[in-house]
Structure 1
Amino acid sequence: MSSWQNHSIDERISMIQSVAQDHNIEDNAVEKDWWVTVVLKALFNTSCGKWLLFKGGTSLSKGWNLINRFSEDIDISIDRTFFEKILNLPFAKCENNNQVKKLRKASRDYIHGTLSAELDVELQKMGIEGYTVKNETMAGEPPKPIDHDSDPTVIFVNYESIFPSSMRLIDARIKIEISCLSMSEPNEKCDIRSLVFDKFPEEDDEMTASIKTVTPSRTFLEKALLLSEELQKEEPRTLRMSRHLYDLDRLMDTEFGQKSLNDGNLYKAIVEHRRRFYHLGYVDYDKDYPTSIDFIPRNEVLKAYRLDYETNMVDGYIYGEAKPFKELMKRMEKLLHDFRQIIIP
């Protein structure tokens, strides 16, 4: 059993409540943060660990400490080099659409057939108890089998919460999304720690890791592009989408945000990567470029974004400062102006 789980349930609840009070978040959010840290450490200890890359919003909070937003999911990419050089799959070069499709199939087979089993083994080695690892094979309402060539591939780690179900506002499971199509650069090593470790290092001494993580400059641009592409839909998603606006606001004044606004080469590389590997039918990738990009929700969905921000994000996921929605949108207007000034070589 891990050093943290060696403590009695009452002792763990007491420590979690202390951390939750410090951060003004729910008790079970602190518990889930511990499980996120555990799962990250185990993932990067698997045989493909050195080809994995931690990305997305959770990396901004846990890896770079740049946002004060609780993130439930783990976004991971697995370098195509792993499939080409280690598994000896020549189509991993992705020189055409047919090879990309073959890679997506091979990646799903590997992740569900090998990686999920290795994740379970690594968690056992760490002495972790009270969990199950499950592959996601069905999705949608009503649930239907997921296409063999779908990317990303999802693994769930379901855990036994120490809080009664009636008190839990957050699901007791970690969703791991693993993509074989993401860019691999730029990245840096980051130290990952649980919130419990930060306050009680002597009680949770095993739950730290140093893992390869996407740089915030790239994540900043990717979030703006994701919103711009989503808003090209006739009926764009709104549930939990306002988190990207919050993240952009938090990043725009940092050195990473300012650096990315002056890096036309990185901007172009990201757009063309998305065009080549994702080629979503509803997206005009030319509109991702600075002269046309628009990540501000239009009037017909603005109310839904406001509701999502004020009820889901501010009340449930953001700890620390959260700007009023009107001020947030003024900031986005300024940021959009800055994006329009980016020079593409």
Structure 2
Amino acid sequence: MDSVAKISSRERAQLFETAEARHTPRIAAPIIEKDFWVCWTLHRLFEVLQFHPQLIFKGGTSLSKVFNVIERFSEDVDLSLSRRDLGFATDRDPEQIGITNKERRRRLDDLTAHCQQAVLNKLLPALRKDFATVLGTSGWTVKLDAADPQTVVFSYPVSDLSGALPYIRPAIRLEMGARSDDWPAVDAELKPYAAEDFPGMFVVPTCKVRTLAAERTFWEKATLLHAEYHRPSDKPSKERLSRHYYDLYCLCRHSIGHQALKSGDLLERVVKHKSLFFAQAWANYDTAKPGTFHLVPPDARVDGLRRDYDAMQAMIFGESPKWDKIIQELKRLEGSINGSIKLTP
């Protein structure tokens, strides 16, 4: 991938624009460009820097780039550091049995602070030094996000594309964290969309990563929607929430979803972890189990989610199911989890 990163912006623009014309389904050139820089960044992190021995790639981008489950462009890169590698094992582990809730919160705050320091003092300078060996010292920046000191923002070199998309920001957010439970994880490969269409332009078109298993992501998404069902009306949801409903819709129609439904122990593990590391009394994680599981949003939130979903259509480059179809499928999935029906592949 470094060979493409080093060519001129005009040459890269020609590559991305030609890939747009050739790729099926059609993907806009600015998305192909950003996808390249996402993959290149992962290549530098996992294969060159080898920044962290237990670094895990997860979230929506992994569903798209590694598992090919969703046809949605996910621009942010969700990464997880091992809390044990940060020194939070045994008597510092927030998951230790027998500690008080107050002590657990103190350890979690301490863990977050250590993650922030690792990002500031290790990741940030390492990225700047490494990226400069390929990109030179101008035309790009790597900075901490002003609102989140665990997130690094890479403003990549923009090509001379003939057309721009206002909703595609020429920057990649590397969202780090250390609270996740990253089991099970698998070794996998990914490649840029441009490399699918023009492999000859890439000396090495693929990148090897360690990623969270998609079955785990299925239950992470499902329990998130369960918590959203119980969200109080005075606590507004985050922006772009509808993407999680779309992602779970795609997962439950895939063999990954059918496999996840056989893993009740994995659901229990996700619920236990969220109850300890992301505790919210209103989330009702104790009811995130067969018989009392909720996926479909309350009626009062449906219209807002529908508008949010309509606004993200430009990010879906494959089949774009109607919102009502997503809700219908999630009702079916909810029934399956609760034991009233069975999904068939």
Q: 1:220 aligns with which of 202, 212, 218?
A: 218
Within 2, Cα distance between the matches of 1:5 and 1:327? 40
Cα pair 1:192 1:208 within 8 Å, conserved:
yes
| Percent of aligned pairs sharing the same letter | 27
The residue that corresponds to 1:334 in the other structure is: 332
Could you tell which deviates more after superposition, 274-283 or 75-84? 274-283
Aligned to 2:40: 38
C-alpha distance 48-6 of structure 1, shift in aligned 2 (>3 A): closer
Deviation at 1:42, TM superposition (A): 1.7
Q: Please report how far the alpha carbon of residue 115 of structure 1 lies from its aligned counterpart in structure 2 after TM superposition.
A: 1.2
Residue 229 of structure 1: how far off its partner (Å): 1.2
Amino acid at match of 2:115: S
2:155 alignment partner in structure 1:
158
Equivalent residue, structure 2, for 1:296: 296
Is 1:132 aligned to residue 141 of structure 2? yes
Please name the residue that 1:73 is paired with. 76
* Residue-by-residue CA offset, 1:210-266 (whole Å, 9 max, x unaligned): 111111111011111112212322244263211111111111132221111111111
Q: Which range is displaced more, 198-207 or 250-259?
A: 198-207
Task: Say what the alpha-carbon RMSD is for the aligned residues.
Answer: 2.4
Count matched residues.
Answer: 326
Consecutive unaligned residues of structure 2, counting only runs of 5 or more, are 341-345
Counterpart for residue 91 of structure 1: 92
Report the residue type matching 2:188 in the other structure: C
Question: How far 1:292 moved relative to its partner?
Answer: 2.1
Tell me the TM-score normalised to structure 2 length.
0.87
- Matched-pair contact (CA < 8 Å) for 1:62–1:192: yes
CA distance, structure 1, for counterparts of residue 45 and residue 90 of structure 2: 22
The amino acid that maps onto 2:71 is N
Q: Which residue of 2 aligns with 1:17?
A: 17
Residues 2 and 260 from structure 1, CA distance in 2 versus in 1: closer, same or farther, beyond 3 angstroms? closer
TM-score, normalization by structure 1:
0.87
Contact 1:78–1:179 (Cα < 8 Å) also in 2: yes
Q: Of the candidates 25, 28, 31, which is equivalent to residue 29 of structure 1?
A: 31
Q: Which of the numbers 52, 61, 66 marks the counterpart of 1:63?
A: 66
Q: Structure 1 residues 42, 90: CA separation in 2 closer, same or farther (over 3 Å shift)?
A: farther
Give the AA of the match of 2:300. E
Cα drift, residue 39 of structure 1:
1.1
| Bigger strand fraction | 1
User: Equivalent residue of 2:141, what SS?
Assistant: strand
CA contact (8 A) 2:230 2:283 kept: yes
Given the alignment, which residue of 121, 128, 131 partners 1:113? 121
Q: How far did 1:277 drift? A: 1.0
Unaligned 5+ segments in structure 1 are 140-145, 147-152
Three-state SS of the structure 2 residue aligned to 1:156 is strand
Go from structure 1 to structure 2 and tell me whether the alpha carbon gap of 1:281 and 1:229 turns closer, same or farther (over 3 Å shift). Answer: same
Contact 1:48 1:82 in 2 (8 A): no
Structure 2 equivalent of residue 182 of structure 1: 180
SS at match of 2:56: strand
The residue type equivalent to 1:79 in the other structure is: S
Equivalent position of 2:319 in the other structure = 321
**Structure 1 301/238 Cα, relative in aligned 2: closer, same or farther at 3 Å?**
farther
How far did residue 91 of structure 1 move? 2.1
- Which letter maps to 1:133? V
